[in-house]
Amino acid sequence: MFDFIPLSVPNLKGRELEYVTQAVETEWVSSSGPYILDFEQAIAQYIGVDDAVAVQSGTAALHMVYLEAGITDEDMVIMPDLTFIGTLNPIGYIGAEPILFDCDEFLCIDPEKIERFCALECDIRDQQLFHKGKNKRVKAIVAAHIFGALCDMEKIMDIAERYHLTVIEDASESLGCRFSTGRYAERHAGTIGDFAVISFNGNKIITTGGGGIILARNKQQLEHIRYLSRQSKDDELRFIHNEIGYNYRMTNLQAALGLAQLEQLDSFVEIKKRNYEIYESFGLKLLSYGARTISNYWFYSLLTDNRRDLLIEQLAEKSIQTRPVWELMHRLPPFSKYITFEIEKAAYYHTEIVNIPCSSNLTIEAVEYVATEIKDILG
Ligand SMILES: *Cc1c(COP(=O)(O)O)cnc(C)c1O
């Protein structure tokens, strides 16, 4: 009936081929070309900001943002323990030190614990926060919005102001998410912190093959990021570069794909919401995205009553692809030596959750089939 049902795959049924063909026919395939600027403008407009900078991946976007935020190899950074490795790796490129934090009931970094950490373990000197034990500056909070839920940005922004921290939103997974109530009602993910990134990797809600986009509250800083991402080129003719740059600029081919995808974003969100509701109607226990979020329904988190591995294995036998949440960052060799703070919920959700098929091209019949198979296994 169904050959194989993957967890999350791209949906390329719009004008992708038309735009990419156009890029090829005009021979603009690399890091210049009209689609790049069009894509930056289209994303900015969708989100409700003035400008955005497109790069090769979400990870590259985070690298640029961490540098522009002034994070150095002498700094510590408040980061989530439950996230994709792409949040952490660029901190490793810089040589800064992450401090790994627990999540809340929506899998996003827990602001109560950040507050407690700042109050108990740090002090403020000259308008900067220092970790007392390590005598190092704590420079920033990285708030990663997980699976379609949003971090509690009101609390995070208040803490950041009180403790002089820069706020970076890793909105890699959150294109199409908005805040529902309160101070930031109706604002899109990525428009609250000092900087934000969104990813267009193949499994994200829209894709450019690989790609990312950067938002920043400060225009000069955003422009500086654009400059760094293009090898810091100051003179096109004589090849003058006045700073160390990065070859991170998005290509016209990627942007062509992205423009076609963006045209379909709202319909993807609708389908994902519909499918989430079908799973729920079968009595499956899915994690909520929380009242503060108008979600894009990117990933579905099924609670499995301690039968995670059994479920994954038995669904695989039926050619249904599922997976556990990412391994927690503090358990991975590159990051296991760093400080953690009160990790409890993240460890619980890690053992409990299975992500189930959520592609925007899943038919109602396919979702009902998956739901039935899960019911069969979990009872
Ligand atoms: C996808 C993702 C990234 C990195 O994006 P890439 O485009 O794959 O480099 C970073 N953080 C989170 C939370 C992600 O889901």
Average pLDDT over residues 15-42: 96
Cα(373) to centroid(ligand 1), Å: 30
- 222 neighbors 214 (Cβ within 8 angstroms): yes
Ligand 1 atom closest to the Cα of residue 83 is 13
How far is ligand 1, taken at its centre, from the CA of residue 62, in Å?
Answer: 9
Pocket lining: 83 vs ligand 1, CB cutoff 6 Å = yes
User: How many whole angstroms from 257 Cα to the centroid of ligand 1?
Assistant: 18
50: left (phi over 0), alpha (psi -120 to 50) or beta: alpha
Whether the pLDDT of residue 68 is over 90: the answer is: yes
Residue 296: which pLDDT band, with cuts at 50, 70 and 90? very high
pLDDT score recorded for residue 346: 98
* Mutual angle of helices 219-229 and 58-68, in 10-degree steps: 120
Mean pLDDT of 136-160: 98
Pocket test for ligand 1, best of 8, 55, 56, 59 (most atoms within 8 A of CB): 59
Determine the distance separating the centroid of ligand 1 and the alpha carbon of 203, expressed in angstroms: 10
Task: State whether the beta carbon of 138 lies less than 6 angstroms from ligand 1.
Answer: no
Q: How far is the CA of 327 from the centre of ligand 1 (A)?
A: 15
Q: Is the pTM of this model over 0.85?
A: yes
pLDDT at residue 28 in the model: 94
- What average pLDDT does the structure give for the chain? 97
Q: Are 2 and 318 in contact (CB under 8 A)?
A: no
Confidence of residue 2 (pLDDT cuts 50, 70, 90): confident
- pLDDT of 311: 98
Quick one: what percent of the chain has pLDDT higher than 90? 99
Does position 1 have pLDDT exceeding 90, yes or no?
no
Q: Which atom of ligand 1 is nearest to the CA of 203?
A: 1
Q: Is the CB of 207 under 6 A from ligand 1?
A: no
Q: For residue range 18-28, what is the model confidence (pLDDT) as tens digits?
A: 999 999 999 99
State in Å: Cα 58 to ligand 1 middle: 5
pLDDT (tens digit, 9 = 90+) per residue, 72-117?
A: 999 999 999 999 999 999 999 999 999 999 999 999 999 999 999 9
Contact between 134 and 76 under an 8 Å Cβ cutoff? The reply is: yes
Residue nearest to atom 13 of ligand 1 (CA): 84
Q: Which of 65, 201, 208, 248 to mutate to test the pocket of ligand 1 (most atoms within 8 A of CB)?
A: 201
Residues 6+ apart with CB under 8 A from 125: none
Percent of the chain with pLDDT over 70: 100
Taking the C-alpha atoms of residue 95 and residue 72, their distance in angstroms, rounded to an integer, is 7
Under 8 Å between Cβ of 280 and 36:
no
Note the pLDDT of residue 77. 98
